[in-house]
Chains A and B, each alone.
Chain A
Amino acid sequence: MAHLLNQIFDWFAAWLGGSVANDSVAGYVVAALIYLALLLNLVAVGALVFIWLERKVSGRIQDRLGPTRVGGKFGWLQTLADGIKLLTKEDLIPGDADKLLFRIAPYVGFCASLSAFIAIPFAGRDFPFVAQHLNVAVFFVLAVMGLEVFAVILAGYASASKWSLFGAMREAAQVVSYEVPMGLCVVVPVMLAGSMDLVHIGDKQQGWFTNWYLFHDPFTFIVFWVYFTCGTASVNRAPFDLAEAESELVAGFHTEYSGLRWSFFFMAEYGSMLAVSLLAAILFLGGWNGPIPVASLLGLTWHNGPLVGYLGNFLGMLNVLAKAFLLVTVMMWVRWTLPRLRIDQVMTTCLKYCTPIAAAMFVGAALWHMTLPDRVFAGLLQSPAANRLLAEPLPGDSIQLDLQTVEAATIARGGRP
């Protein structure tokens, strides 16, 4: 994107008699702004949609209608109306609060949630739809989402309320318990793909749904559920919403927040839900590769021209978003069905059950990967076209090959690998 922009700038500059280098800063800055605008829209509009969806889903689960008035029959503008209400609310900061930290906390949370999207791709292959194609994207996303905890702890500490402090301390206790199994679960697809690059991991699962890592072997199938449990815990959703446990801690860490600041926490929560679900979709559910490789079967690949390839990628993006939305809906479904766990039970679940299960599944998946050929279940449903596609080398594969060559060359030179 930056190079493309620089070329455009160069074209304009040439018009005026100057020139812009291909790696000029200007292109990067403008590209960053464009990505930011796109991602902000995704998170903000996503949150808008999810909050509406949450109301509708909870309404249907509880035998109600949910919003029906604002914006026509389905009340789809309800969230916007709520947003306006929140904007016009009085800006309250408790007298004893640490004013600076109190103000900062919601933005820390929102930024952490938003930053995760930088490295999350929405389509792969030759032209990945991603703001910044990172080769350690998995690591980056997990690390940045972990920052959200700071927001909760800051908010709880700065509010000068005992209930908020309880919420913050619970979050601190919770984060150490779910981060471990979650990391272990994420390692499994990373190991199978041999890369921490999300684009590469997604591309590795292309073809029919049998190629998804969810169906790679029995171990990954279980790992997905463990990941989803830990993911729910990481975004503070029921039954793990202890930091904001309404019936116990009034509203937990955001007890003292109101108006726009509160809505930033809210947006951060929904942004994180989407991020965690997108990660799950890419790591386990084939990412932008649908259950049926429609784009490949229709020939919407980059080889048939950029526009066609772009269209294929666009379909892929819809695909990954649909999967993420599905997972988010499941989270809502769970939230409106189950009671909340107690803090010691959350820690027991995460550390005593999820961690050993994830570790065992990791070993199992590793052994399966080493001993049995890839995609054992595949082949049942694979069309020749999809197989032909699979035979094509992927962009990430070449890097691996290069590494092997380098290794071999190192050994040949008598050095240690």
Chain B
Amino acid sequence: MTTAQTIEIDVRTDEMLVNMGPQHPSTHGVLRLVLRTDGEVVSEVMPHIGYLHRCAEKIGENLTARQWVPYTDRMDYLAGMNMNLGWALAVEKLMDYQVPERGRHLRVIIAELGRIASHLVGMGAYGLDLGTFSPFLYAFREREKILDLFEEVCGARLTYSYLTVGGATADFPPGWLEKCEAFLDQFVPVIDEYHALLTTNAIFIKRTAGVGLLSAEMAIDYGCTGPVLRGSGVDYDLRRDGEPIYTSMYEGYDYEVICQRAGHYPKDQEYPPVPIEAVLGDCWHRFYVRMLEVVQAIGLVRQAMAKYRASDGSFGEPMKLNQKLPKGEVYLETESPRGQMGFGLVSNGTAIPWRARARSSCFCNLSVVSELCRGCLIADVPAIVGSLDIVMGEIDR
């Protein structure tokens, strides 16, 4: 006689191993996920990385600190400015150098614009992962304008190498701040479009709310950072909680860390309410944190522009290409759009670092994917991976 238990086992069929990637439309570059599936249900996800490894860190041991700057913006190629900033601050920490007031605000403007551009790609690509195409182009339309601003400032649209050790390679060209102001004014109403197309869209909520639940404990255990961590309700942002050399950059700025506290997000701006279906730590919250950070970044840029205008003097002096570094070891983490981006540097007193290392935020964020995808459907895998907003260039370096 067969019991219900045995019947259930009999009905189960063979599990199938499927390769999602490295050439797959929604793996954000060259991530390879091996899915163990039983029909539509995914029982296990194994991420495989290394397809975009370019030996960036080894190259860093053969170049001077400033020569390595162009390699940093090829790591997280969607937020090159923030990568430059991370490395520049790490080297500055070693040299015990403080950027002048004007350069500090210039860096805030550039870093926060970079954050907006990066989150726009994250948001648009997330729409693509869920099968809607238009938000992607809407996001790129606005990102294009930021790239135009960046191009005007440094001549490059993707790999900037603008923020560099000692300050920046150049000051803003005349009239740039007005253009930036005009862009922000024009950009604010567009965010409502994004909210209409994605954040509050019924199907979007259905696809993301309650999917890929990442508890705060798990997020901390796995070392998740950035919007992934804050999407789980952990109030942690290096711009406020980081090391003094980094937090001093944001001194005197009025902003609140975007994270749900006591069931609420900081109410400093108008934004759509959290749907009932959404649970803290799901894909929807991770997406939402990014959307709110875009608005927050606009505010920061506005403040920084006012402060930049008010300040005078030098914007910093870029270090010489072959300038000798003081002997020592240094490690500094900054809040890149994707999370905690750390740069480590060991110097033996020459111009070329003895060791140059990067701590990838996406690597840790990606490591939770096998936990999040256990027992989800195939369609949820892109939704979860997309909500982590990874950039393979940064993971593999």
Chain A residues with CB under 8 Å of chain B are 58, 61-64, 162-163, 166, 169-170, 238-239, 241-242, 245-250, 336-345
Question: What are 8 A-B interface contacts by the 8 Å CB criterion?
Answer: A64-B137, A162-B16, A166-B18, A338-B132, A339-B132, A342-B206, A345-B206, A345-B207
The answer to whether B127 has its CB under 8 Å from any CB of chain A is yes
The answer to whether B44 has its CB under 8 Å from any CB of chain A is no
Contacts of B131 on A, CB cut-off 8 Å?
A: 238-239, 241, 245-248, 339-340
Contact present for A339 and B378 (CB under 8 Å): no
Contact present for A248 and B137 (CB under 8 Å): no
Q: Beyond the given A248-B26, A342-B379, please list 8 additional residue pairs across the A-B interface where CB-CB is below 8 A.
A: A61-B134, A62-B134, A63-B137, A63-B138, A239-B203, A248-B378, A338-B203, A339-B130
Chain B residues with CB under 8 Å of chain A are 16, 18, 24-26, 39-40, 127-134, 137-138, 141, 197-198, 201, 203-204, 206-207, 377-382
Q: Which residue of B lies closest to A162 (CB)?
A: B18
Contacts of A343 on B, CB cut-off 8 Å?
A: 40, 377, 379
> Which 4 A-B pairs have CB atoms at the shortest separation, nearest pair first?
A340-B131, A247-B26, A339-B130, A339-B132
Contact present for A248 and B381 (CB under 8 Å): yes
Contacts of A58 on B, CB cut-off 8 Å?
A: 133-134
Docked complex Cα distance between A163 and B23 (Å):
13
Contact present for A248 and B133 (CB under 8 Å): no
Contacts of A62 on B, CB cut-off 8 Å?
A: 133-134, 137-138
Of B130, B138, B198, most A-chain CB atoms within 10 Å: B130
Of B24, B127, B133, B206, most A-chain CB atoms within 10 Å: B133
Contacts of B201 on A, CB cut-off 8 Å?
A: 338-339
Of B131, B207, B382, most A-chain CB atoms within 10 Å: B131
Docked complex Cα distance between A246 and B382 (Å):
11
Contact present for A247 and B377 (CB under 8 Å): no
Docked complex Cα distance between A402 and B34 (Å):
67
Q: Which residue of A lies closest to B197 (CB)?
A: A337
Q: Which residue of A lies closest to B35 (CB)?
A: A162
Pick from B132, B197, B380: contact of A342, CB under 8 Å: B380
Contact present for B39 and A337 (CB under 8 Å): no
Contact present for B138 and A169 (CB under 8 Å): no
Contacts of B128 on A, CB cut-off 8 Å?
A: 247
Contacts of A246 on B, CB cut-off 8 Å?
A: 25-26, 131
Q: Which residue of B lies closest to A337 (CB)?
A: B134
Question: From residue B14, how far is it (CB to closest CB) to chain A in Å?
Answer: 12
Pick from B18, B26, B206, B380: contact of A163, CB under 8 Å: B18
Contacts of A162 on B, CB cut-off 8 Å?
A: 16, 18
Docked complex Cα distance between A99 and B203 (Å):
39
Contact present for A250 and B203 (CB under 8 Å): no
Contacts of A241 on B, CB cut-off 8 Å?
A: 131
Contact present for B378 and A341 (CB under 8 Å): no
Contacts of A239 on B, CB cut-off 8 Å?
A: 131, 203
Contacts of A341 on B, CB cut-off 8 Å?
A: 203, 206-207
Contacts of A247 on B, CB cut-off 8 Å?
A: 25-26, 128-131, 382
Of A64, A242, A247, A250, most B-chain CB atoms within 10 Å: A247
Question: From residue A336, how far is it (CB to closest CB) to chain B in Å?
Answer: 5
Contacts of B197 on A, CB cut-off 8 Å?
A: 337
Contact present for B134 and A342 (CB under 8 Å): no
Contacts of B39 on A, CB cut-off 8 Å?
A: 169
Q: Which residue of B lies closest to A63 (CB)?
A: B141
Q: Which residue of A lies closest to B40 (CB)?
A: A343
Pick from A169, A245, A336, A339: contact of B204, CB under 8 Å: A339
Q: Which residue of A lies closest to B380 (CB)?
A: A342
Q: Which residue of B lies closest to A340 (CB)?
A: B131
Docked complex Cα distance between A62 and B197 (Å):
12
Docked complex Cα distance between A395 and B160 (Å):
75
Docked complex Cα distance between A35 and B137 (Å):
43
Contacts of A163 on B, CB cut-off 8 Å?
A: 18
Docked complex Cα distance between A325 and B118 (Å):
39
Question: From residue B235, how far is it (CB to closest CB) to chain A in Å?
Answer: 30
Q: Which residue of A lies closest to B382 (CB)?
A: A247
Contact present for A337 and B132 (CB under 8 Å): yes
Q: Which residue of A lies closest to B202 (CB)?
A: A338
Docked complex Cα distance between A58 and B377 (Å):
29
Docked complex Cα distance between A162 and B128 (Å):
22
Contacts of B40 on A, CB cut-off 8 Å?
A: 166, 169-170, 343-344
Docked complex Cα distance between A340 and B131 (Å):
5
Q: Which residue of A lies closest to B23 (CB)?
A: A250
Contacts of B138 on A, CB cut-off 8 Å?
A: 62-63
CB contact under 8 A between A342 and B207, given known A163-B18, A245-B379: yes
Contacts of B379 on A, CB cut-off 8 Å?
A: 242, 245, 248, 340, 342-343
Contact present for A336 and B24 (CB under 8 Å): no
Contacts of A339 on B, CB cut-off 8 Å?
A: 127, 130-132, 198, 201, 203-204, 207
Q: Which residue of A lies closest to B211 (CB)?
A: A342
Q: Which residue of A lies closest to B16 (CB)?
A: A162
Contacts of B133 on A, CB cut-off 8 Å?
A: 58, 62, 336
Question: From residue A252, how far is it (CB to closest CB) to chain B in Å?
Answer: 11
Contact present for B137 and A166 (CB under 8 Å): no
Question: From residue A42, how far is it (CB to closest CB) to chain B in Å?
Answer: 29
Question: From residue B131, how far is it (CB to closest CB) to chain A in Å?
Answer: 3
Docked complex Cα distance between A246 and B20 (Å):
12
Contact present for B134 and A336 (CB under 8 Å): yes
Q: Which residue of A lies closest to B39 (CB)?
A: A169
Contacts of A337 on B, CB cut-off 8 Å?
A: 132, 134, 197
Contacts of B381 on A, CB cut-off 8 Å?
A: 248
Docked complex Cα distance between A64 and B138 (Å):
10
Q: Which residue of B lies closest to A348 (CB)?
A: B206
Docked complex Cα distance between A241 and B18 (Å):
21
Docked complex Cα distance between A250 and B204 (Å):
20
Contacts of A169 on B, CB cut-off 8 Å?
A: 39-40
Docked complex Cα distance between A261 and B306 (Å):
61
CB contact under 8 A between A250 and B24, given known A245-B379, A342-B379: yes
